[in-house]
Amino acid sequence: MEVKNPLYQNQGIHVIASIFTVEKGIVKVLLIRRTNEPFKDRWALPGGALYNNENIIDGLNRELKEKTGITNINLELCNVFGDVNRSKLMRMVGISYLGVIDSERVGILRKTQKTSDADWFTINNIPNLAYDHNEIIKASLEKLKSSILNSDILKTLFPNGFTIPELQKTYEAILNKTFDRRNFRRKLLNLDLIYDTNKEINFEGKKKAKLYKFKENNKNVF
């Protein structure tokens, strides 16, 4: 590597997060409104430029805290976006992550030094975003679909547990497909993905249903 080669210079890294939630069976993603150029006043995914003295995940956690107030969220590597023209200022490689949170249990900063607003948008009603963030959301949603079939990523969405009907509704919303109720329940129990807490709660105002939780470090495939 020739450090002085000009082709190595004027490059940077963007760290970007697609933070998803599910509200009453509807999948939403968190967006912020920018106050700085480029793309001033446009909505975007939370994130920003990585400092040259920090690790990637540390930089993303810093950006999330600064621009949304979110901390202590499990993030999963999603994709890398390297189009040479994705930023108007300089060559910026984008590294994207995804996370899932319960929107009712986290407070979002509506305004910061670099943002004028923040809100949850349904995935079917996303505006024209800054940079290539529409493409990033699309890729992140596909990664999320794969992750819920291969991991316990939804655990953070239900920190206090869930009913099987509630979990089924979430799977159906993210995967955009319908499951037979009995088959869904049987598959979950057969794969040993969840455990019965021996508690019951009301689901959607109907009769009581058993409360379950995900098992820790479960690697089974749904």
pLDDT at 45: 98
Cα distances (Å, whole numbers) of residue 216 to 8, 120, 185, 190: 44, 29, 19, 16
Q: What pTM does this model have?
A: 0.89
Could you tell me the domains of the chain?
A: 6-150 (3.90.79.10), 158-214 (1.10.10.10)
pLDDT at 12: 96
Using 50 as the pLDDT threshold, list the residues of the chain that sit under it.
none
pLDDT at 102: 93
pLDDT at 144: 96
pLDDT at 32: 98
pLDDT at 218: 60
List, for residues 110-157, the tens digit of each pLDDT value.
999 999 999 999 999 999 999 999 999 999 999 999 988 877 788 888
